[in-house]
Amino acid sequence: MTFSPEAAQQVRALERKEAERLDVALVVIAADPLGAAAPMPTAPVLREYRDDAGARVIYYATVLGTVVVVAYLEA
């Protein structure tokens, strides 16, 4: 898993609780990048993951799901 420059900057700005929420979301995505979230209707190459704890991650994965690039996140 890798982060776009914008997402990396967002990670650095997170507070501890936000980072913990994000960590859980990233584990779910890493376990099943193609199944963890549905493609976004307006940009099918992107996937949007949301959970009940308030994490939101927009990412894309390679065809086999071996590389995941996080483009945007909220926690």
Question: What pTM did the predictor assign?
Answer: 0.86
The total domain count for the chain is 1
pLDDT tens for 14-37 read 999 999 999 999 999 999 998 999
Whole domain around residue 54: which residue ranges? 2-74
Q: What percent of the chain has pLDDT over 70?
A: 100
Neighbouring residues of 74: CB distance < 8 A, sequence distance ≥ 6: 10, 54, 55, 56, 57
Q: What is the structure's pLDDT at 71?
A: 87
Neighbouring residues of 51: CB distance < 8 A, sequence distance ≥ 6: 21, 24, 25, 28
Selection from 28, 75, 27 nearest residue 53 by Cα: 75
Q: What is the structure's pLDDT at 1?
A: 87
Q: Give the CATH number of the domain where residue 9 resides.
A: 3.30.2310.20
